[in-house]
Amino acid sequence: MKGDLRCLDGRLMRHDPQPDDPDLEADRGVCPDCGGRGCEPPKAQGISRMSDNDRAILISFDKRLTDDEFRDFHEYVREWVQ
């Protein structure tokens, strides 16, 4: 997608499509996440360790939670997944 950033061999690449080259990527410098060493692919970061019994929960909020709201929510989720 236009504007997406990704690490490629330690360089931060931005998708910058052009009419004659829809796959063009522009080098934006050293990747700040890996310091130029090259980020590990997602599989190497632990995604492959998930088993069929693991659960992933994705939740989105329309506002930032206060610390008290976050603690209440965290406790609710912990009880829910047990």
Q: What digits encode the pLDDT tens for the residues 35-78?
A: 888 886 544 444 445 555 666 666 767 778 788 888 888 888 77
Report which DSSP code applies to 18.
Answer: B
Q: What is the CB-side half-sphere exposure of residue 67 using CA atoms within 13 A?
A: 0
Residue 37 contacts residue 30 (beta carbons within 8 Å): no
Least confident piece of the model among 21-25, 28-32, 48-52, 76-80: 48-52
